[in-house]
Amino acid sequence: MEISFINNQFPHYIFKHMIPSFSWLPYEDVITKMKEEDIEEIRKMNNRQRSGHGFLIDLLQTSQISSDDLQAIFCPTLIMHSQYDGAVPLEHAYHANRQIPQSELFILNSWGHLIWLGKESEEVDKKLLDFLKSHNNFY
């Protein structure tokens, strides 16, 4: 049976088994932080990720980023990271914040790695819009 078939027929099942990759929280806690429509968004996301190559490229490039690379970023930078992210250690966000001169770090109470999903997603959107407005030098 093909993974995409299972994903499309049983999206809650797939999501439950993906949670350890995205969050330190147990399923019971994660599901209380989700909106019902988020499961559909995860189902669609899974259907778009077929090749696996993009993820591997991300892993290769991430391991090549040095402190010098981060210190060379001179534009205002917003770093948002969930305290429950199971995919990327929180220390990575702190490290980037220490190295990028004009960075702001915002630690989220969202359920995990996919910060644009869940009941806390409105907070993510608001923080991003506030950041963009505060650094808008065009008007």
Sequence ranges of the domains in the chain: 3-134
Question: Which residues, listed in sequence order, are joined to residue 81 by a DSSP beta bridge?
Answer: 107
Exposure of 21 in the CB half-sphere (CA atoms within 13 A):
6
CA 80 – CA 69 distance, rounded (Å): 19
- DSSP annotation of 76: -
CA–CA–CA angle 120, 126, 129 (5° rounding) = 145
% residues pLDDT > 70 (the chain): 88
CATH no. for 3-134:
3.40.50.1820
Give the pLDDT score at 46: 83
Q: Is the pLDDT of residue 81 over 90?
A: yes
CA 134 – CA 20 distance, rounded (Å): 36
Q: Is the pLDDT of residue 87 over 80?
A: yes
Q: Tens digits of per-residue pLDDT, 102-127?
A: 999 999 999 999 999 999 999 999 99
User: Average model confidence (pLDDT) for the chain?
Assistant: 89
Q: Is the pLDDT of residue 1 over 70?
A: no
